[in-house]
Amino acid sequence: MVHALDWNQTRDPSVCGPTFYPLGHTGQGGNTRGCTCLGLRGTVRLGGEASRTSFFLKLSKRSLAIDQYKPQDATTNPSLILAAAQMPAYQELVEEAIAYGKKLGGPQEEQVQNAIDKLYVLFGAEILKKIPGRVSTEVDARLSFDKDAMVARALRLIELYKDAGISKDRILIKLSSTWEGIQAGKELEERHGVHCNMTLLFSFAQAVACAEAGVTLISPFVGRILDWHVANTDKKSYEPQEDPGEWPLEAPGQALAGCDFLTISPKLLGELLKDSSKLAPTLSAKAGEAPPRTWVPWGWGTGQASDLEKIHLDEKAFRWLHNEDQMAVEKLSDGIRKFAADAVKLERVLADRMFSAENGK
Give the whole-angstrom CA distance, residue 207 versus residue 219. Answer: 9
Beta carbons of 253 and 272 less than 8 angstroms apart: yes
Question: Within 10 Å of residue 138's Cβ, how many Cβ atoms?
Answer: 26
Point out which residues pair with 8 in neighbouring strands. Answer: 34
What DSSP state is assigned to residue 310?
Answer: P
Active site annotation includes 235: no
CA dist., res. 256 & res. 31, Å (int) = 8
Q: What CA–CA distance (Å, rounded) separates 173 from 145?
A: 16
Three-state SS string across 250-292, please? CCCCHHHECECCCEECHHHHHHHHHCCCCCCCCCCCCCCCCCC
How many angstroms separate the CA atoms of 103 and 97, rounded?
Answer: 10
Residue pair 99/9 in contact (Cβ under 8 Å)? The answer is no
- For 140, residues 6+ apart whose C-beta sits below 8 A from its C-beta are 78, 153, 340, 343
**CA–CA separation, 192 vs 262, rounded Å?**
28
Rg (CA), the chain: 20
The residues near 348 (Cβ < 8 Å, ≥ 6 apart) are none
CB 17 within 8 A of CB 263: yes
- Of 130, 174, 186, 338, catalytic: 174
CA separation for the pair 297, 74 (Å, rounded): 25
Longest dimension (CA), the chain: 69
207 — phi, psi (to 5°)? -65, -45
Beta-carbon contacts of 230 under 8 Å, excluding residues fewer than 6 positions away, are 236, 237
Q: Which residues are catalytic?
A: 174
